Amino acid sequence: MAIAMASASFSLQLKAIEKCRAFDSPTSKLAPAAGFGPFSSVAVSFSQGRLSSSRTSLVTRASSATALEDGGPSEAEEIPTPKVIIDQDSDPNATIVEITFGDRLGALLDTMNALKNLGLNVVKANVFLDSSGKHNTFSITKADTGRKVVEPELLEAIRLTIINNLLEYHPESSAQLAMGVAFGAVPPTHQVDVDIATHITVSNDGPERSLLYVEAADRPGLLVDLVKIITDINISVESGEFDTEGLLAKAKFHVSYRGEAIIKPLQQVLANSLRYFLRRPTTEEASF
């Protein structure tokens, strides 16, 4: 089903996202937008049913600043890459959000409160451990309808809120994330080459839908823009997964055209449209 536009009740968050697009400029540095805390790296899955958000240990902002002044973790200590995954496929009734940052995450009560401020309910929360660290998962629904989140603008607001909160309590992670330029205390030391980082593939996933995979340099508002480009060529986004990890964003979308899998010529049109859009800043700069 095509994804609807976000409701007016989230206009303030959407305005904050628009302001974040100044991040496209490599020299821009933005303070956290109102309503969003500092951010850490995030992997968000835009599939129907899973929306994960992670929050760092409940340390005060003053403690975080002190850690930076003192040099943060020792050089010998490896800082884990924060990940936020928003999954829309695993649960038909809720969006699942998973947050991972090694073993550094606390109870994430502040993250849950921030999500509630977006008009969401956290109906279930779980924590599990594996070799990659502690994973915090939340099942989230909209407070007014009790249903999962499908609006791309609201999903992006969730993603940015989680990253903001994560960077607030773990500023040492901001240099690992593309979002660190806009929201972090320490911006990344290098930028990803857009041409090298962009990968797009489209394949059939049964007779009624296709699977679109996109990997690109991350930036605020990317999820909303990807969905807009897809729907602008009359392709429906049924579900998906959006992950933010380090400097890259990885998205998987289940898409269809008039209820059927996308034929080869239209697959090429879709891939070319997305590739042009993702590389457009470099192309436009080079054309002048």
Query: For position 133, what pLDDT does the model report?
Result: 77
- Comparing 48 with 186, the larger pLDDT belongs to 186
Model pLDDT, residue 17? 47
Q: How far apart are CA 126 and CA 139, in angstroms?
A: 9
Which CATH superfamily includes the segment(s) 194-287? ACT domain (3.30.70.260)
Dist. CA 103–CA 46, nearest whole Å: 25
Q: What is the pLDDT, as a whole number, of residue 77?
A: 65
Look at residue 280 in the predicted model and tell me its pLDDT.
67
Asked if pLDDT for residue 183 goes beyond 70, the answer is: yes
Cβ-based neighbour number of residue 190 at 10 Å? 8
**Does the pLDDT at position 71 exceed 50?**
no
For residue 287, is pLDDT > 70? no
Look at residue 281 in the predicted model and tell me its pLDDT.
54
What is the structure's pLDDT at 47?
39
Q: What would the DSSP string read from start to end of 19-55?
A: HHGGGGSTT---PPPTT-----------STT--B---
Which range in 110-114, 163-167, 198-202 is most confidently predicted, on average pLDDT? Answer: 198-202
- Residue pLDDT, tens place only, 206-227: 999 999 999 999 999 999 999 9
In this prediction, residues 149-154 reach a mean pLDDT of 94
Whether pLDDT at 258 is above 80: yes
Considering only 101-105, 119-123, 142-146, which range has the smallest mean pLDDT?
A: 101-105
Residue ranges per structural domain of the chain: 36-64+79-177, 194-287
Of the candidate ranges 13-27, 99-113, 119-133, 235-249, the one whose mean pLDDT is the lowest: 13-27
288 or 86, which is more confident: 86
pLDDT bracket for residue 78 (50, 70, 90):
confident
Left if phi > 0, otherwise alpha if psi is -120 to 50, otherwise beta: which for 246?
left
Q: What is the mean pLDDT of residues 36-50?
A: 37
For residue 138, give the 3-state DSSP assignment.
strand
Task: Please report which confidence band the pLDDT of residue 26 belongs to, taking 50, 70 and 90 as the band edges.
Answer: very low
Which of 112, 98, 232 is closest to 165 using CA atoms? 112
Quick one: pLDDT band at residue 66, thresholds 50, 70, 90?
Answer: very low
Q: Which of 166-170, 234-238, 267-271 has the lowest mean pLDDT?
A: 166-170
With pLDDT > 70 as the criterion, what percentage of the chain qualifies? 70
* Neighbouring C-beta atoms of residue 74, cutoff 10 Å: 6
Mean pLDDT in residue range 131-138: 85
